[in-house]
Amino acid sequence: MNPDDPRCIWEDVPAGDLSLRVLRPPSAEDLIDEDEFADDERLPYWAEVWPSGRVLCGLLAQMDLSGRTVIELGAGIGTGAMVAAMRGATALSTDWYPQAVEFSRWNAENLGLDMQAEVVDWREPPALITDRAPWDLVIGADILYEARNGTALGVLIPRLCGPHTEVIIADPRRPDAKPFVQAMHDAGWAYVRDDLPVPGRIDEQGPIVHVHRFRPPAKNINGPVIV
């Protein structure tokens, strides 16, 4: 499916005082492809604007990102990167689905935003993201829904960061987020968590989203964390 398909729908995404209206497929479930799933267990989660994505958009809308570089990982249609661009950032939306990237580009252009969107596989990150490191801000929403995602991100994220980079991941309390957070903490990353309410539609994950914030490794950080 592409943005020219008449079945696509418009969705208004809450983002503080910003107006973010995006075009997306009507249902992720309708896009399930058995061949893609057999190849790499891919499922088209990109087609939805999930509660964590709405929380991330609201959070970014409160930030002044003028002059900062922002990369969104597992961006789907890229709403987080769009809000970052609206707040003055040089923003890049990334996803491993080419269709998601196509929708990101279309929506950014429709909103008049100067935002890039590229296909990225976390396991084999292209030079277009690693050569631009360090990024000022690395963001993601609901990207820790599988254990393999946490493993891949644990390798990729340090390659994108410098000493002053901030990492923000909005997560609807997925079980696989816990080992990722603990591994980052054990590796010396400074960590705090905010618990934020979900604006609008609430799914089966509940009304609260955990916002995990990381800073590059600091000394003398040990022990378990509560996630």
pLDDT confidence of residue 222 = 41
Query: What number does CATH give the domain 50-215?
Result: 3.40.50.150
207, 197 Cβ separation under 8 angstroms: yes
Give the residue extent of every domain in the chain.
Answer: 50-215
Q: Which two tokens stand for residue 221?
A: 């950080």
| Res. 203 pLDDT band, cuts 50 70 90 | confident
**Block residue for tokens 């087609």:** 47
| Res. 42 pLDDT band, cuts 50 70 90 | low
pLDDT digits (tens, 9 = 90+) for 59-110: 999 999 999 999 999 999 999 999 999 999 999 999 999 999 999 999 999 9
Q: What is the pTM of this model?
A: 0.91
97, 42 Cβ separation under 8 angstroms: yes
- Which residue pairs from 84-87 have beta carbons closer than 8 angstroms and sit at least 24 positions apart in sequence? 84/60, 84/137, 84/139, 85/113, 85/114, 85/115, 86/15, 86/18, 86/20, 86/61, 86/111, 86/113, 87/60, 87/61, 87/63
